C-alpha cells in the first residue's frame, strides 16, 4: 500500500506449521503423499475423515510441513501417506 508517496508494509499473517494436534472433537495429522510429492492434513471427527490443505485451530491458521522440507526429502521425518479410517473419533482419541 502506498501512503504519501511511501510504500507502507502491510502486516501479513503467515500460517504456522503444524504436524499434529488433538482438539475437542477432532484429531489432526499431517500426511505426505510421495506419488504427488504433496503434504496435507487429515482431520478425523465423529463425522468421518477428510483431507484438507490447511486447518484453523482456535482462530489460528496452520499449514502442513512443506514437501520440500529437508526432513521429508531425506526421510528423517516419516509421515503416513494415507488417512486411517476410523468410525469413532472418540475411540481413536483414546489412543493418544
For the stretch 73-89, pLDDT in tens is 888 988 888 776 555 55
Q: What SS3 class is residue 55?
A: strand
Whole-prediction pTM: 0.72
Handedness of CA 34, 35, 40, 45 (dihedral sign): negative
Per-residue confidence at 70, pLDDT binned at 50, 70, 90? very high
Average pLDDT of the segment spanning 31-52: 89
Task: Tell me how far apart the alpha carbons of residues 42 and 20 are, in angstroms, rounded to a whole number.
Answer: 9
d(CA 32, CA 35) in angstroms, rounded, equals 9
In the predicted structure, residue 91 carries a pLDDT above the cut 80 = no
Amino acid at each position: 500500500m502506498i501512503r504519501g508517496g511511501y510504500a507502507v508494509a502491510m502486516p501479513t499473517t503467515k500460517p504456522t506449521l503444524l504436524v499434529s494436534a488433538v482438539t475437542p472433537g477432532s484429531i489432526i495429522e499431517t500426511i505426505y503423499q510421495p506419488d504427488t510429492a504433496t503434504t496435507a492434513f487429515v482431520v478425523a471427527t465423529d463425522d468421518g475423515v477428510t483431507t484438507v490443505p490447511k486447518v484453523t485451530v482456535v482462530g489460528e491458521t496452520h499449514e502442513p510441513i512443506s514437501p520440500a522440507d529437508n526432513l521429508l526429502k531425506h526421510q528423517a521425518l516419516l509421515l503416513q501417506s494415507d488417512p486411517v479410517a476410523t468410525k469413532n473419533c472418540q475411540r481413536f482419541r483414546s489412543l493418544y
